[in-house]
Amino acid sequence: MRETDISRKCAGTLLGVALLVGISVWTAWRVYPSASQFRPLPSAAPAPGNVPRPAAPPVERRPVTSGQPLAFQPVRSDSLPLTGAGEALERRAFQLEMENVRLRSRLEDMLNWILDNVRGTFPLPEAQMANLRVSPVDEDMAVSADLAELLRLNDRELERLDTAFIGTRSVLQDLELENIFVQEPAENQVVLNIPPYAEEGQLVREELYRELKTTLGTARFDRFLQVAETGLAEKFEHFGEVERTLLFEAFHNDDSGDSQLFVRDQRVVPSPDDPLRQDITASERIVTELPKEYYPYWNWLPEYVTRFSRSN
């Protein structure tokens, strides 16, 4: 039974293949014509009067070099006569090109300014600038590096501000020393009392501010007051509004066996917000060498204090 099924399958397969081959042959016969249809026609004999002429000798073709002009020259667009509309377009194109050049130049200038003035900086919001505090001067009463960088001071401006700050400090010291008086309440103890001189100090402040505004201009002067006015008042003893008391006492340290100097520096500062209030600040320290900041009061200090100076 199984052999019969296999035989039937084989016979069906052979029949299908034969049918496929037959269809392919019939299609090829219908589509492609026989070779007899493509036989060449016999060449016609030449007419008695048409005797062929001998062929002309071949013409030597020379390559055209770049120096030889072509027989045909294309017509250039710029050689054509321009109409009124064309001339207007040409003028407009030229104007646009010139404006483009100017804009590129301005853009380059702006980029260069940004690189010179903004590189490496992080601008603070205006609201935060009120919280920024910068010391205006260094220990030598010259312009501090932070202030010079913030206001972008040039060499000429630095020189003018250095002169103004140093000169102002010198005038204020002269006013201090005019009214100073000395007390010696105990042995090896001296007290220097420096009363306030608010009126004279206010005149000195106004003169300094005029010089700063002239040098910096209004915008930078306002910025200076915003970030450095508090520090300026502290460095210049609040321009005479402070009552200052200096106490020096020399003593012998029993533990170390060394001579030492006790220094107390007290300031009474009126409050800018409340006229009935005064703020008292004081610093105390024990040293073996007289601090440099007290050298201006040398002529009022006794020998048991000045012997702690660096030169002795």
Q: What mean pLDDT comes out for the span 90-94?
A: 84
User: Are 277 and 270 in contact, with CB atoms under 8 Å apart?
Assistant: yes
SS3 for 246?
strand
β-strand pairing of 278-287 with 189-194: unpaired
- Take residue 250 and report the two structure tokens written for it: 């020399």
d(CA 247, CA 263) in angstroms, rounded, equals 6
Helices assigned H by DSSP within the chain = 2-31, 84-117, 126-129, 145-151, 155-179, 198-235, 303-306
Q: For residue 136, how many other CB atoms are within 10 A of its CB?
A: 26
* pLDDT level of residue 45 (50, 70, 90 thresholds): very low
Give Cα 13 distance to the centre of its chain. Answer: 87
* pLDDT level of residue 43 (50, 70, 90 thresholds): very low
Proportion of the chain above pLDDT 90, given as a percent: 42
pLDDT of residue 116: 66
Asked if residue 281 has pLDDT above 50, the reply is yes
> pLDDT tens digits for 205-261?
999 999 999 999 999 999 999 889 989 998 998 999 999 999 999 999 888 778 999
As a whole number, the mean pLDDT across the chain is 78
Residue 266, CB-side half-sphere exposure with 13 Å CA sphere: 13
- Weakest-pLDDT range from 64-68, 80-84, 256-260: 64-68
pLDDT of residue 72: 46
**Higher-pLDDT residue of 84, 122:** 84
Greatest mean pLDDT range, 36-50, 89-103, 104-118: 89-103
Q: What mean pLDDT comes out for the span 260-289?
A: 91
Greatest mean pLDDT range, 83-97, 105-119, 273-287: 273-287
> pLDDT tens digits for 5-37?
544 655 555 566 556 556 655 555 554 444 444
Asked if residue 178 has pLDDT above 60, the reply is yes
* pLDDT level of residue 192 (50, 70, 90 thresholds): very high
- Weakest-pLDDT range from 25-29, 182-186, 194-198: 25-29
pLDDT of residue 8: 60
- Weakest-pLDDT range from 44-48, 121-125, 282-286: 44-48
> pLDDT tens digits for 139-177?
888 999 999 988 999 999 999 999 999 999 999 999 998
Residue 122 DSSP symbol: -
**Higher-pLDDT residue of 95, 250:** 250
Rounded to 5 degrees, φ, ψ at 82 are -85, 140
User: Are 193 and 153 in contact, with CB atoms under 8 Å apart?
Assistant: no
- Take residue 126 and report the two structure tokens written for it: 């205006």
Would the pTM of this model clear 0.75, i.e. be above it? no
Question: Which is nearest to 300 in space by CA: 177, 195, 201, 213?
Answer: 177
pLDDT of residue 240: 92
